[in-house]
């Protein structure tokens, strides 16, 4: 698959004429294998060519990409950075702290500014406190402001004080849907002294589902906040030349299925294949059957596959979607002309690129599905869901499903195993898809017409990803039926799948815990990780919005909703799913009549304008942020304290103690949960000591701007299982050699006082899930020097390096269990005194409690020279600070 690359005349800007306007661009020329190169790599190729033209890169990287040298290092300069508030606030807190650190070193704090455009959408702070009432939306928004005024005021300061940063206020929608429907340009332009330069719209985002925009042919993926900070300050993303897996699509979706069923099938298929760190690209005749909204649904789930991104080439579907969503006609014409000129346009005559691996997907094979109880890839045929729950129940509780009924104080019902206590239509993944939402609305209409009602123990909610969705449901009359079933709009933001499902009635929670019931949630989200959805929910299932409603009608996971009754109709007869499922023809007809450019333009006209509450928040502009030492939300972090201007020397590490020994698929939710702050936890104690009442704890995620809370949230997942303390759930470990069981945070403090370095030992897919930088920041602040695992998820591996932590991989076929590691050992890394290279082999000595020693080779999962430099500096933040300090030194007389 190697191709020659003629470098003569490369990196020169040329003219492109579009509708009487002239644009500069760097032609993708001189590569004899362009037609065989996957479209996603063509975007990288253009990026590298532009770097050569601008003097930021050497031709060597171009040659590596042309020859498809998998693993060779590349630099990538995204057009923009995309942030959300839970992960964006820590990013901006770090930049504010960097301004202070630069000023302390004698520099100008205003020199710390985004060098590329950045948008932050406040969409992750919304909690479903109130539901199933017309007042839910306004009440929840008011509570969101009340809880988060400090954070929002800080963001107002950032918006006014940092160049090229825009902030979308609360209540507008979910970042990825806003990006798809409005923000993405597909082709970006810059005004320069030489003229208007056109190039592909690309991005990195602090949310792992930033990949959604690949459905509109915008190359982008999730990164950790610390990597996003570096990009905002003008540094490139470092990545190896990726393998590209091609998914060949054929056929059409059968009647009775939805895009959600499709994406859950793809998630199962690609996770089983193994695409971690790879690009995935769709091709084939079936692409024409996939609307852009469905492509976005598929691309959104890339982190659930483990892929870096899931790319769809530009074609007539993408062009027409730009028109549908009200993009300016001048932009639409530029997108098509540029794509055709650069070999980025796909049509029925396009030759299939050469992929490193090909997977086939027949759309006609898709069946109605759900996924759970913990992982998005655990797909289940809908007809087998009830049986599967019984199996899941036994694994979760250690006993079979019983007929026990637990009374609920003050209620007219009882709870059983499998009771569905949360049914949420939520998340950008599925509420962005018109087919999904109209199908749900029609199913609700049909259910109401039959006289069905939702079971009284089910908490229902509808959180659309944009106001466009809500407007369509209103104008078609479908929201009336959704309201009748309790699916009132609770707000516009990322709610239940982000752990912000809000409370269930206290008597219900008490009945669940007293009976040790396995209660369930069904949601149209993209995440259902263990402990994420709600503290009283042990099993959570992903499903299409229509199937969320169907489950809410049935009320229990033990009910077979594929063929059994959902309830009794007004006529006294049982009503099944088949009786109320809408047909595709009606769904499509409503979509075609209800969606149009004027609707999108009107709903996005005031995207960056806040309401009266937002305008009153304060946050006046200034060169440096005025930190409040009493704040429990926003504090100046310690990353720049006591930093030397010189890179610290590298030396061996000896006698590391395991802080935790963990199993497979440890998610960033295990490492840094974003949901409710549990009473009695280290974070709760910290807040209580400062006079914060439990009712005002808010969530772990909303308090990540305060490192004191966030470090205490590290490993705070209530379902964490640390093998050092077998049989215990939660954030516990054993202090050794003492043998005392302590919360992980308290043990880490004591180890720190003793000067003991720490290590984490884990299994496969360590760090899967959200691109959560605090899952690495917190671990670093606890004193962890290395993580030894069987494999890492891409984003978290980079985050660890960005915090100066070594990601190390066991040899093939070697596991912690196979080595009988139980946490009583200590670990030595004697090779760190020598020069390390990319993917170096490092000796690890395991010192047993009985005096025996085991020596094994570990692979250093540092993939590029840039990553190696970050680690040597102690992380990206010290690297950036030293870079800034060096500039100050150059300017000094």
Q: Phi and psi of 106, rounded to 5°?
A: 95, 10
**Domain assignment of residue 43, yes or no:** no
pLDDT at 11: 66
Q: In terms of DSSP H, where are the helices of 625-743?
A: 668-671, 682-689, 707-712
Residue 589: other Cβ atoms inside 10 A: 12
The verdict on residue 880 lying in a domain is no
Which pLDDT value is given to residue 450? 98
For the record, the structure tokens of 261 come out as: 């069923």
- Whether residue 321 is predicted with pLDDT greater than 70 in this model: the reply is yes
CA neighbor of 117 nearest in space, from 237, 239, 220, 234: 234
Residues 576-614: pLDDT tens digits? 999 999 999 999 999 999 999 999 999 999 999 999 999
**Tens-place pLDDT, residues 484-508:** 999 999 999 999 888 889 999 999 9
Secondary structure (DSSP) of 368-435:
-EEE-SS-TT-EEEGGGHHHHHHHHHHHHHSS------EE-TT-S-EE-TTBEEEEEE--HHHHT-HH
Ramachandran area for residue 806 (φ above 0: left; ψ -120 to 50: alpha; else beta):
beta
- Domain residue limits at 687: 673-713
* Same structural domain, 258 and 275: yes
Cα 389 vs. chain centroid, distance in angstroms?
A: 27
**268 shares a domain with 222:** yes
Q: Read off the pLDDT of each residue in 777-788 and give the average, rounded to a whole number.
A: 97
Q: Is 18 exposed, middle or buried (0-12, 13-18, 19+ CB in 10 A)?
A: middle
Look at residue 196 and tell me whether its pLDDT is greater than 70.
yes
Alpha-carbon distance of 102 to 99, in angstroms, equals 5
Q: For 228-278, write each residue's pLDDT tens digit.
A: 999 999 999 989 999 999 999 999 999 999 999 999 999 999 999 999 899
pTM above 0.75, yes or no: yes
Does the pLDDT of residue 7 top 50, yes or no? no
Sign for the pseudo-dihedral over CA of 19, 20, 23, 27: positive
- In degrees, to the nearest 5, what angle opens at C-alpha 33 toward C-alphas 27 and 39? 65
705 and 558 fall within a common domain: no
Residue 166 has a CB neighbour count (10 Å cut-off) of: 14
The total domain count for the chain is: 4
Query: Residue 475: its pLDDT value, please?
Result: 95
Q: Are 402 and 261 in a shared domain?
A: no
Beta bridge partners of 370: 380
Measured CA angle at 284 (ends 280, 290), to 5 deg: 80
Examine residue 324 and state whether it is found in any structural domain, yes or no.
Answer: yes
**Do both 764 and 698 map to the same domain?**
no
Residue 524 resides in a domain: yes
pLDDT tens per residue, range 826-850: 999 999 877 788 899 999 999 999 9
Show which of 309, 336, 365 is a domain's final residue: 365
Mean pLDDT for the stretch of residues 83-104? 95
Q: How many angstroms separate the CA atoms of 875 and 77, rounded?
A: 20
Cβ contact 705:635 at 8 Å: yes
Confidence of residue 10 (pLDDT cuts 50, 70, 90): low
Digit-coded pLDDT (tens) for 366-385: 999 999 999 999 999 999 99
Q: Could you tell me how far CA 806 lies from the centroid of its own chain?
A: 23
Both tokens of 549, joined, read 């409603």
CA–CA dist 832, 821 (Å, integer): 22
In tens, the pLDDT along 448-470 reads: 999 999 999 999 999 999 999 99
Q: Which two tokens stand for residue 76?
A: 């990538």
Domain-embedded: residue 57: no
Find the CATH number of the domain harbouring 540: 3.30.499.10
By percentage, how much of the chain surpasses pLDDT 70?
98
Q: Is residue 744 part of a domain?
A: yes
Residue 385 and residue 268 in one domain: no
In this prediction, residues 41-49 reach a mean pLDDT of 96
pLDDT digit string (tens) for 626-642? 999 999 999 999 999 98
* Alpha carbon 683 to chain centroid, angstroms: 24
Over range 770-797, report the average pLDDT: 93
Nearest alpha carbon to residue 835 among 650, 673, 695, 629: 650
Query: Count of CB atoms within 10 A of residue 626's CB?
Result: 8
pLDDT at 891 over 90: no
Same domain (yes/no): 730, 783: yes
Boundary (domain end) residue, out of 571, 595, 619: 595
Cβ atoms of 539 and 392 closer than 8 Å: yes
What CATH number has the domain bearing residue 803?
A: 3.20.19.10
How does residue 795 score in pLDDT terms, banded at 50, 70 and 90? confident
The pLDDT of residue 120 is 98
Q: Is 54 a domain residue?
A: no
* Separation CA 171–CA 864 (nearest Å): 40
**Reduced DSSP (H G I as helix, E B as strand, rest coil) percent helix, strand, coil of the chain, to 5:** 40, 20, 40
Work out the average pLDDT over 846-873: 94
Indicate whether 853 pLDDT > 80: yes
* 787 Cβ neighbours under 8 A, 6+ residues apart: 759, 760, 761, 762, 766, 779, 800, 805, 806, 807, 808
HEC readout, 542-588 = ECCHHHHHHHHHHCECCCCCCCCEEEECCCCCEEEHHHHCCCHHHHH
Residue 861, pLDDT score: 95
Last residue of a domain, one of 335, 365, 395: 365
Q: Tell me whether residue 61 is in a domain.
A: no
């Amino acid at each position: 698959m190697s191709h020659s690359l003629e470098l003569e005349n490369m990196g020169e800007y040329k003219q492109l004429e579009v509708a009487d306007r002239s644009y500069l661009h760097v032609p993708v020329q001189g590569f004899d294998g362009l037609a065989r190169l996957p479209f996603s790599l063509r975007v990288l190729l253009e990026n590298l060519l532009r770097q050569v033209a601008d003097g930021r890169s050497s031709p060597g990287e171009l040659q590596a990409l042309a020859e498809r040298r998998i693993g060779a290092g590349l630099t990538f300069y995204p057009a923009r950075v995309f942030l959300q508030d839970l992960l964006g606030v820590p990013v901006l807190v770090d930049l504010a702290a960097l301004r202070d650190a630069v000023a302390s070193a004698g520099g100008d704090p205003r020199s710390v500014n985004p060098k590329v455009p950045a948008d932050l959408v406040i969409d992750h702070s919304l909690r479903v406190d109130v539901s199933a009432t017309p007042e839910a939306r306004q009440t929840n928004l008011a509570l969101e402001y009340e809880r988060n005024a400090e954070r929002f005021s800080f963001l107002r300061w950032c918006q006014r004080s940092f160049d090229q940063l825009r902030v979308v206020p609360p209540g507008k929608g979910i970042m990825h849907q806003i990006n798809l429907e409005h923000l993405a340009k597909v082709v970006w332009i810059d005004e320069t002294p030489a003229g208007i330069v056109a190039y592909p719209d690309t991005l990195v985002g602090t949310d792992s589902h930033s990949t959604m925009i690949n459905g509109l042919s915008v190359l982008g993926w999730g990164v950790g906040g610390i990597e996003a900070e570096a990009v905002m300050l003008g540094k490139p993303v470092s990545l190896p030349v990726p393998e590209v897996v091609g998914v060949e699509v054929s056929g059409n979706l059968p009647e009775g299925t939805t895009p959600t069923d499709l994406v859950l099938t793809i998630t199962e298929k690609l996770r089983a294949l193994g695409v971690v760190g790879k690009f995935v690209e769709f091709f084939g005749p079936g692409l024409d059957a996939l609307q852009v909204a469905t492509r976005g649904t598929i691309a959104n789930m890339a982190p659930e596959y483990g892929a870096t991104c899931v790319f769809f080439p530009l074609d007539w579907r993408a062009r027409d979607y730009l028109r549908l969503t009200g993009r300016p006609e001048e932009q639409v014409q530029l997108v098509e002309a540029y794509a055709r000129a650069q070999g980025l346009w796909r049509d029925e005559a396009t030759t299939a690129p050469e992929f490193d691996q090909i997977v086939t997907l027949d759309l006609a094979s898709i069946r109605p599905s759900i996924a759970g109880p913990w992982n998005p890839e655990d797909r289940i045929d809908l007809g087998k869901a009830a049986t599967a729950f019984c199996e899941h129940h036994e694994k979760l509780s250690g006993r079979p499903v019983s007929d026990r009924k637990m009374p609920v104080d003050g209620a007219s019902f009882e709870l059983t195993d499998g009771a569905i206590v949360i049914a949420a239509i939520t998340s950008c993944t599925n509420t962005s898809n018109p087919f999904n939402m109209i199908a749900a609305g029609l199913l609700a209409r049909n259910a109401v017409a039959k006289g069905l009602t939702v079971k009284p123990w089910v908490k229902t909610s509808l959180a659309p990803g944009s106001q466009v969705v809500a407007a369509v449901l209103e104008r078609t009359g479908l929201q009336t039926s959704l309201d009748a079933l309790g699916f009132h709009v609770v707000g516009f933001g990322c709610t239940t799948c982000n752990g912000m499902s809000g409370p269930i009635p206290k008597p219900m929670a008490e009945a669940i815990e007293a009976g040790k019931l396995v209660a369930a949630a069904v949601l149209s989200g993209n995440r259902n990780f263990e402990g994420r959805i709600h503290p009283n929910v042990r099993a959570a299932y992903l499903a299409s919005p229509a199937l969320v409603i169907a489950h809410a009608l049935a009320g229990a996971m033990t009910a077979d909703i594929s063929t059994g009754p959902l309830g009794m109709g007004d006529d006294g007869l049982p009503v099944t799913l088949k009786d109320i499922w809408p047909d595709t023809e009606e769904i499509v007809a409503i979509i075609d009549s209800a969606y149009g450019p004027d609707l999108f333009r009107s709903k996005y006209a005031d995207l960056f304008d806040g309401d009266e509450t937002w305008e009153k928040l304060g946050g006046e502009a200034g060169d440096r942020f005025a930190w409040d030492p009493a704040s429990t939300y926003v504090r100046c972090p310690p990353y720049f304290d006591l930093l030397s201007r010189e890179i610290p020397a590298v030396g061996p590490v000896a006698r590391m103690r395991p802080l935790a020994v963990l199993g497979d698929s440890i998610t960033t939710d295990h490492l840094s949960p974003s949901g409710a702050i549990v009473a009695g936890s280290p974070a709760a104690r910290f807040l209580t000591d400062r006079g914060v009442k439990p009712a005002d704890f808010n969530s772990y995620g909303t308090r990540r701007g305060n490192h004191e809370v966030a470090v205490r949230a590290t490993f705070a997942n209530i379902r964490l299982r640390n093998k050092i303390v077998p049989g215990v759930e939660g954030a516990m470990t054993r202090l050794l050699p003492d043998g005392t069981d302590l919360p992980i945070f308290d043990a880490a403090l004591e180890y720190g006082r003793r000067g003991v370095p720490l290590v984490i030992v884990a299994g496969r897919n360590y760090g899967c899930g959200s691109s959560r930088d605090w899952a690495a920041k917190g671990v670093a602040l606890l004193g962890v020097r290395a993580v030894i695992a069987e494999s890492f998820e891409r984003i978290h591996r980079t985050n660890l390096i960005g915090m100066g932590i070594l990601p190390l991989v066991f040899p093939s076929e070697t596991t912690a269990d196979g080595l009988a590691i139980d946490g009583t050992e200590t670990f030595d890394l004697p090779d760190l005194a020598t020069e390390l290279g990319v993917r170096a082999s490092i000796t690890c000595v395991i010192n047993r409690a009985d005096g025996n020693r085991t020596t094994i080779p570990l692979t250093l999962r540092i993939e590029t020279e840039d990553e190696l430099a970050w680690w040597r500096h102690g992380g990206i933040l010290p690297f950036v600070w030293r870079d800034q300090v060096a500039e100050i030194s150059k300017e000094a007389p």
